[in-house]
Structure 1
Amino acid sequence: MDVREIESLLGDYVESAEGNRVQGSYALDQALVGTTYFKRPLVRCAAADDPLFRRIRDDERVLGPKFRLPSEWLPGARSVVSVCFPMSDEVCRSNVDDLERPSDLWLHARIEGQQFIAETTRLLVGWLEERGFSAVAPSQSPDFEAVRQDRRAPGAPLYVSRWSERHVAFVAGMGTFDLSAHLITPAGKAMRLSSVVTDARLEPTERPYGEDPFAYCTRCGACVARCPVGAISLPGGKDVALCSEVVARSKERFSPRLGCGKCQLGVPCQSRIPEPRFSHVRAYLA
């Protein structure tokens, strides 16, 4: 099994699975029934012993010591498979215009869609095990934990966990971060992520951006303007505490669902890697 085979298997499953569509049993609006959550996923791979994992673990401004290395999730781990699930065009369109509330379809994609991602990730674990390999999905493990650390070192993240889908995807060559702390991938940042650690030896994906965590972000400021509460700024990036308050209020209003997602939509990096700012000038000077 290689990365291309995994991407093909997952893509065929995502396109055909009923779980990737709004079901009438829970639809907030029956007009949404049958609407697709996600497009075909992208798959990238990192070597489990990539030294970048240890560096982002050892830097408290990035992840800190709570983060577990791949080999601590699975002894003998050789590879980490990162999967990107791009939001469908219908989901994205539904949530662009009204900055005051998330659309019903976005709420479904955020909760029932995430449940489908968890199901698909378990399926990938099963495929690997059927081929004689060991595999684990850290974010689905009972040992996974995400906690808020109100007392932290300067520059340290507000929330820490034993596994970070975004940072794992960065190491695997999936994409780089932006001002709003999302990951810009070849399919843009309107997406969700998952990952699996395995002892299968898979060819690592080349990181076209090297180790630059913000290589794809042009700092255009579009996400700043899109945030309903001003939680993103050009000089400071994302105010995670303020953003979290908005999401928490959405859960109070729409429980058991929650979400916002406005900064992921209506921006140049919604569904692609944006062109570098002033690229025509840079090309001329080169």
Structure 2
Amino acid sequence: MELINYQTEKANTHTRYRKPLVGFASAHDPLFDQMKEIIGPHHLHPTELLTDAQTVISFFLPFAKTIITANRESPGIAREWAVAYLETNTLIATISATLKRELSAQGINVVTQPATHNFNEQDLTARWSNKSVGFVAGLGTFGINHMLITPSGCGGRFGSTVISAKIPPTPRPTQENCLYLRNSKCQFCVTNCPTGALTIKGLDKHRCYAQLLEVDKQFPDLGLCDVCGKCAVGPCAYCNEE
């Protein structure tokens, strides 16, 4: 936790962050088997990444509230949000590489995974879902926006690492963090979706992804920037920090 905190605080980015969250899951948690049924047989089990896997580390880097506010108030996708998406993906790679170096020096085997772009573009399912791993590791509950809502909200990015050392699992929350699923009092994400891809009944992934590709064209100077986040800037963006 201290290493992830340090890396985030010292990150050479325009993006600022709130305090990171870290959770742990047993690599042999039955939920990892269920992912092959829920997401697809192509979704990797931790032991397919690392044969002697014992623990999966999941971490969440929550964006500063100014970034969330910028994307909430902008009629389009805020540049601050787009930059945060790209910079945080790079930061997650840096944190993962640092974890691997530090743990490997202690004789622990480590396999890291990218923050994004590890999905099949035909059916838009991932070979390793960082959000789903975060759920198994007790970092939050899924909302109707299909985001994992942590105690610090869903305005941020997830990373994960598989290691050969045993760490006690983090207990999973017993209360829904999504206000709609808790008491039916919020549909911000649904009404704020710019394309109608998100409804109470579900998410049209292809319509959503088409929007991301359109946004990418708006920021040609940033590189690949398939991002939106309009469903992640409501009350659940901060959750218990609001």
Question: With structure 1 as the length reference, what TM-score do the two structures score?
Answer: 0.76
Write the distance in 1 (CA, Å) between the matches of 2:43 and 2:154: 23
Write the distance in 2 (CA, Å) between the matches of 1:126 and 1:209: 35
| Aligned pair partner of 2:10 in 16, 37, 40 | 16
Report matched runs for 1:8-87 at 5 Å.
Answer: 8-18=2-12, 21-22=13-14, 36-57=15-36, 59=37, 62-87=38-63
Instruction: Kindly state the Cα deviation for residue 140 of structure 1 after the two structures are TM-superposed.
Output: 7.1
Contact 1:184 1:273 in 2 (8 A): no
| Aligned pair partner of 1:121 in 70, 77, 96 | 96
What corresponds to 1:96 in structure 2?
A: 72
Write the distance in 1 (CA, Å) between the matches of 2:18 and 2:126: 28
Write the distance in 2 (CA, Å) between the matches of 1:273 and 1:229: 28
Aligned residues: 234
Contact 1:46 1:172 in 2 (8 A): yes
The alignment status of 1:233 with 2:199, answered yes or no, reads: yes
Write the distance in 1 (CA, Å) between the matches of 2:142 and 2:18: 21
The alignment status of 1:253 with 2:218, answered yes or no, reads: yes
**CA distance change for structure 1 residues 10 and 125 in 2, over 3 Å: closer, same or farther?**
same
Contact 1:45 1:172 in 2 (8 A): yes
Aligned residue identity for 1:269: C
Aligned residue identity for 1:272: C
Report matched runs for 1:148-227 at 5 Å.
Answer: 148-149=121-122, 158-209=123-174, 215-219=176-180, 220-227=186-193
Write the distance in 2 (CA, Å) between the matches of 1:254 and 1:273: 32
Percent sequence identity is: 32
| Aligned pair partner of 2:111 in 136, 141, 144 | 136
Write the distance in 2 (CA, Å) between the matches of 1:111 and 1:69: 27
Contact 1:216 1:274 in 2 (8 A): no
Aligned residue identity for 1:67: H
Write the distance in 2 (CA, Å) between the matches of 1:218 and 1:112: 29
**CA distance change for structure 1 residues 9 and 274 in 2, over 3 Å: closer, same or farther?**
closer
Deviations along 1:236-273, whole A, 9 cap, x unmatched?
222211111111001122132342111111x2211115
What corresponds to 2:120 in structure 1?
A: 147
Contact 2:55 2:164 in 1 (8 A): yes
Secondary structure (helix, strand or coil) at the match of 1:136 reads: strand
Secondary structure (helix, strand or coil) at the match of 1:9 reads: helix
Contact 1:42 1:83 in 2 (8 A): yes
Secondary structure (helix, strand or coil) at the match of 1:159 reads: coil
Instruction: Calculate the aligned-residue CA RMSD, in Å.
Output: 2.1
Structure exhibiting the larger radius of gyration computed from Cα positions: 1
What corresponds to 2:235 in structure 1?
A: 268
Aligned residue identity for 2:237: Q
Deviations along 1:120-168, whole A, 9 cap, x unmatched?
1211121211222010113379xx841134xxxxxxxx32222110111
Gaps of 5+ in 1: 1-6, 23-35, 150-157, 276-286
Secondary structure (helix, strand or coil) at the match of 1:95 reads: helix
Instruction: Kindly state the Cα deviation for residue 228 of structure 1 after the two structures are TM-superposed.
Output: 1.5
What corresponds to 1:30 in structure 2?
A: none
**CA distance change for structure 1 residues 90 and 145 in 2, over 3 Å: closer, same or farther?**
closer
Write the distance in 1 (CA, Å) between the matches of 2:115 and 2:49: 11
